[in-house]
Amino acid sequence: MLWFKTLIGIFFQAIFLGLFIYLPAWTLYWSDALIWAAVFYSINSVACIYLLLTNPESIEARLNLPSPDQPKQDKLATIVLFSAMAVSLIACPLDVFHFQITPVFTGYLKISGLVVFALGLLLIIASMATNEFAESTVNIQEDRGQEVVDEGLYGIVRHPMYTGFFLFFVGTSLWLGTILSLAICIASMTFGLVLRIRVEEKTLLEGLEGYKEYTEKVRFRLIPFLL
């Protein structure tokens, strides 16, 4: 059942994200978007099959419904973050096909966007593989014996999954978008991630044993030696 839900979920996730790109563009004849969707679906499918074979708990955590104990602040932060993601995607086709305020990226800079996008997706998946408690909402999972994870990517930054999200959307803007859409992406994702991280860390500091010591050990939240 977990395999079925996961593979079906990947398919519909790709379609859902694609709608935020294709609907504002109002055309299916956008080869760059098709390549973006193909890369997303391919990497996500292979990675999730690997996780299903090696660490199914990490998949189950992402499929869990929001906890009734989810703090109200986190509900708001989650809505803001998801809105930032939607804005980041929609901004690309709006400026490329309609507003045309700023030029599209070309050459090596554009190609680098596809690389950054893929790297971000891989970071998200690697974070899931390392941290089986990485649910989509913030709550202390006492029923699952949640503990601090400080291995792998979590030994470098405290929120590697959010680093992956940031790279995912910035790379998408470089590959599909314009200077304006990239600026909108950076601004909206920074705001959404900062708000979510503040709420998440407040909850973890108050309720998860050892998290305070972890923050003293791993000082950077998103980018090593910078942020």
Q: Is the pTM of this model over 0.85?
A: yes
Q: What digits encode the pLDDT tens for the residues 81-107?
A: 999 999 999 999 999 999 999 999 999
Average per-residue pLDDT for the chain: 89
Q: Is residue 22 packed enough to be buried (19+ CB in 10 Å), middle (13-18) or exposed (0-12)?
A: middle
pLDDT in tens, 113-166: 999 999 999 999 999 888 876 766 666 666 666 788 888 999 999 999 999 999
Top-confidence residue, 21 or 204: 21
How many Å is the Cα radius of gyration of the chain? 18
DSSP code, position 224: T
The confidence band for 204, taking pLDDT boundaries of 50, 70 and 90, is confident
Instruction: Give pLDDT, residue 140.
Output: 65
Helices (H), 55-178: 56-63, 72-93, 107-130, 160-176
Average of pLDDT values for 52-78?
75
Classify 194 as helix, strand or coil. helix
User: Which residue segments constitute the domains of the chain, with CATH numbers given?
Assistant: 71-217 (1.20.120.1630)
pLDDT of 60 reads 73
What pLDDT, on a 0 to 100 scale, did the predictor assign at position 161?
Answer: 94
Other CB atoms within 10 A of residue 134 CB: 18
Q: Which of 172, 199, 178 is nearest to 74 (CA)?
A: 199
- Distance between CA atoms of residues 123 and 153, nearest Å: 9
Please compute the mean of the pLDDT values over residues 182-208 and round it to a whole number.
92
Tell whether the torsion through CA atoms of 164, 21, 114 and 97 is positive or negative: negative
Q: How confident is the model over 68-78, as pLDDT tens digits?
A: 666 678 788 88
